Amino acid sequence: MLLAWALRAPAADKPTYPLKPFTLGPGFLSTLDGLQGIQRSKVVDVVVEVVTGLVAQFRPRQLHGLRDGTGRPRTRPGTVATALRASLQHCSLGARRLHSYRSAAGVEPSRVGPHDDYRP
C-alpha cells in the first residue's frame, strides 16, 4: 500500500492526501480470489485512492455513496458507516467495483464485486 501511495500521490500533494491507517473488511481478500480481468495491483491503487481521498482527482472512478430503496444513504447494519462504491472497470458486463464503508474512523474497503451486488 505504501508503494502504491508513493506512486499515486504527487510529491507536493502527499501532505494533503496522507495514507492514513485503515482496516480491510472481513473477507475483503477472499473477494479477490478468482478475480479475472483485474490485476491485484489495480485493486491496491483504487483502495489507496479511496482511503486517501485521491479518488476525487480520478473522475472515471465514479466514487459515490450508495442509497437504499427509500433514497437514504445505505449504511452498514447496526452502524452509521455509509456505503461507497468506486469503479475498477468500465463499460463491461459485470464490471467490478470496490465497495467500502466510510465512518468517522476512516474508510474500510469491504469487498470487490459486480456493480449491482450490494452485499456488505
The candidate with the shortest Cα–Cα distance to 19, out of 7, 41, 46, 1, is 1
This prediction has a pTM of: 0.88
Look at the block and give the residue holding cell 492514513: 20
Three-state DSSP string of 16-83: CCCCCCCCCCCCCHHHHCCCCCCCHHHHHHHHHHHHHCHHHHCHHHCCEECECCCCCECECCCCCCEE
Q: Which helix (H) or strand (E) holds 85?
A: strand 82-87
Could you give the dihedral angle defined by the CA atoms of residues 32, 33, 36 and 37, in that order, rounded to the nearest 10 degrees? 30
pLDDT in tens, 2-12: 999 999 899 99
> Is 51 a residue whose pLDDT tops 90?
yes
**Of residues 115 and 46, more confidently modeled:** 46
Which range, 6-15, 61-70, 88-97, 111-120, is most confident?
A: 6-15
Each domain of the chain, given as residue ranges in start order, spans 22-114
Give the pLDDT band of residue 90 (cuts 50, 70, 90). Answer: confident
pLDDT of residue 118: 62
